[in-house]
Amino acid sequence: MIEKVSVPVSVSLTFDSTKRSVFPKWLVWNGRTYPILKVGLHHTFRQGRTLFHVFSVVSKTLFFRLVFNTDNLHWRLEEISDGLPD
């Protein structure tokens, strides 16, 4: 089931200088740490002058859509799914 949540979260990010790319490594949501096993889609969009980075990531049992605001450097968890039908 997909649930839209839009809550602030803590995210650890790694920069790979050889590939010139960034990867979220884990996130903390509701006091629990979720290691990120795979990064799927990454894209950007603008809202006014603010650039947002959107990462679709997978932990062991859950899918997350994370949004990084480059203006205030805050992360938000926008969507979570357990992969099961509604």
Q: Which of 11, 30, 16 is nearest to 69 (CA)?
A: 11
**What does the alpha-carbon distance between residue 2 and residue 6 come to, in Å, rounded to a whole number?**
13
The answer to whether 30 and 12 have CB atoms below 8 angstroms apart is no
pTM: 0.90
> How high is the pLDDT of residue 44?
97
> How high is the pLDDT of residue 83?
80
- Tens digit of pLDDT per residue, the chain (86 long)? 889 999 999 999 999 999 998 899 999 999 999 999 999 999 999 999 999 999 999 999 999 999 999 999 999 999 999 888 77
